Amino acid sequence: MPLLEIKGLSIDYVSDKITARAVDGLSLSLEKGDFLGLAGESGSGKTTIALGIMGLLPEYVKTAGCILFNGKDIVAMQDRQRDAIRWKNIAMVFQNSLEVLNPVIRVGDQVIEPMIKHLGLSKTQARTRCNGLFRQVGLDPIWLDAYPHQLSGGMRQKALLAMALSCDPDILILDEVTSALDAFTKKEISDLLLRIQKETECSMILISHDITFLSIASTRLAVLYAGRIMERGATGEMIDNPLHPYTRGLINSTPGIFLYRDLWGIPGESPTGQMSGCPFFARCTQRVDLCAIRPPDLKPVSSTASCSVSADREVACHLGGVVTLLKASGLNCSYRLPDGKMLNAVLDASLDIRESEVLAVVGQTGSGKSTLAHMLAGVMGSDVGEIFFKGNRMNGDKYGSGYGGIQIVFQDPTNSTSSRFTVLEAVAEPLDINGLQSPEERIELVRSTLSSVGLPSSDEFLCRHCGSLSGGQRQRVAIARALIMRPKLLIADEITSALDVSTAANVLRLLKGLQNSKGFAMIYITHDLMIALKVADRIAVMDGGRIIETGNSHEVMLQPKEEATKRLVGSRMLK
């Protein structure tokens, strides 16, 4: 039997005007010795769950479901019964130490109070034990007689931790204990928790929006959104391979996970009130009609050839988690040279890209990157191999002739957009060719798309010829031409190589911002490793027409396995 088991817990904050659901049918368990992390944005229900476990929810809260501690339901208990297990069996370190600690009572007196009440110790005995607790959490006992305001933030958190440990609890709940601390103190607190957990075998629930802290301190992780668990499993596995779009968004928003990558938050806001469908529906890039009707159940994830997961991994998604958008295998392409010899440009190349992911394909000039990009975009065929897009085999088919397909932005904007075309003609051409929208609607779509890429949408600019534009403007027109087809996958082939560094930086940041806000997946072809580190979730390294190494962008670049990758990294003197 689990030490703590939550079954179908729903918690509503009720007022005269509205009822706000903070926790929605949540179930989880905590075994003895577990180190469980609860992650999520502010308002996801983390602290409410903790207060429910502690039996400290206010009177205007309505609770359904049960919270079982050693088989006894805390929700059904009387106040007297709950009071008996607080601190003695379940203790909590609260978020704001200055608000929690009484400013007019010495710190030591506040720490010894639970020992006197629950353990029946005398004040002298409790003070002696308090000395030992202070040393255990790394505080000098001289601070026993200090007032809370005389301690630093980290010292106050240690004092609260000593208070929580004072009665040797079975479960310790820590609510955002590092959120206001500097990096050194955060590391000190996380090391301290690991040591205490090892020494006491106390089960811990770590509540935090700091994914870096949870990645260090917790062994299991549950990601919450709008009071529901979106994903659950082993912490390390979830950090390396998030399966829910929301989990991936949280990790991509965390500076301590990918040190070199630009930060992009999750577009949109958390929902308020109850919803009939998936709570993440409005912010999800892979939603389907069912997502608006029925919330997904939290279900075990089965391993696939491209995604190996442990048996206890669970995700709440009607599609089973982040879907594979494109999968290519065994691609080959050969050219006949003027002397009659055959050049193998692409050799047995295989890759996949998931919904809203950015995959950088890197390699030296002549490694086959652009040829591979053209094959994936459908602008040239392959000698052999298969390409599946959205589950359909696309060899020989064009997936760029309608909305939601594949579009490519070529390396040289002067060759990809005719100088004789006006801006309007260049951007609207895909709509014209495929007979999409009325002429009036096309003009409005061109205006809005130009605005999204940071270009003017005035009549004067629409009438300008592409030959009169600067290189940066022309590349943005090329990007707008691709985006007007609302692609699910955008292939960008060395799109900044012909631009000066300032213009290239602006174009790259614009493109990455659009990818984040619109949610399309992107294959970014480049020979620049530093750019790959800035924009990509994963990196595929090409050498001699082959994909020789694929993985997390930081692992590939900072811990390369193949010799050709090591040479690429070494050429940039990346440390």
Q: What is the DSSP string of 468-490?
A: GS-HHHHHHHHHHHHHTT--SEE
- What pLDDT is recorded for position 545? 92
Quote the CA–CA distance of 445 and 341 in Å, as a whole number. Answer: 48
- What pLDDT is recorded for position 574? 43
Cα distances from 523 to residues 240, 351, 383, 407, 497, in angstroms, run 20, 11, 22, 10, 16
Q: 516-531 burial by CB neighbour count: b if 16+ within 10 A, else e?
A: bebbbbbbbbbbbbeb
Contact of 512 with 532, CB cutoff 8 Å? no
Q: What is the mean pLDDT of each run of 10 residues along the chain (575 residues)?
A: 94 86 94 93 93 92 94 92 91 84 94 92 94 92 94 90 92 88 83 84 91 91 96 93 93 80 83 81 92 93 63 92 94 85 89 95 90 88 84 74 90 83 94 92 96 94 94 92 95 87 88 91 90 90 93 84 85 53
- What pLDDT is recorded for position 50? 95
Of the candidates 240, 204, 205, the one whose C-alpha atom is nearest the C-alpha of residue 224 is 205
Q: Say which DSSP state 142 is in.
A: G
Of the candidates 144, 139, 146, the one whose C-alpha atom is nearest the C-alpha of residue 104 is 146
- What pLDDT is recorded for position 256? 76
- What pLDDT is recorded for position 398? 65
Tell the burial category of 190 from Cβ atoms under 10 Å away from its Cβ (0-12, 13-18, 19+). Answer: buried
Query: pTM for the whole thing?
Result: 0.88
- What pLDDT is recorded for position 575? 43
- What pLDDT is recorded for position 395? 65
Secondary structure of residue 325 in the 3-state scheme: strand
- What pLDDT is recorded for position 396? 57
Torsions phi, psi for 547 (to 5 deg): -90, 110
Domains plus CATH for the chain?
4-221 (3.40.50.300), 228-316 (no CATH), 356-381+396-571 (3.40.50.300)
- What pLDDT is recorded for position 558? 80
- What pLDDT is recorded for position 504? 86
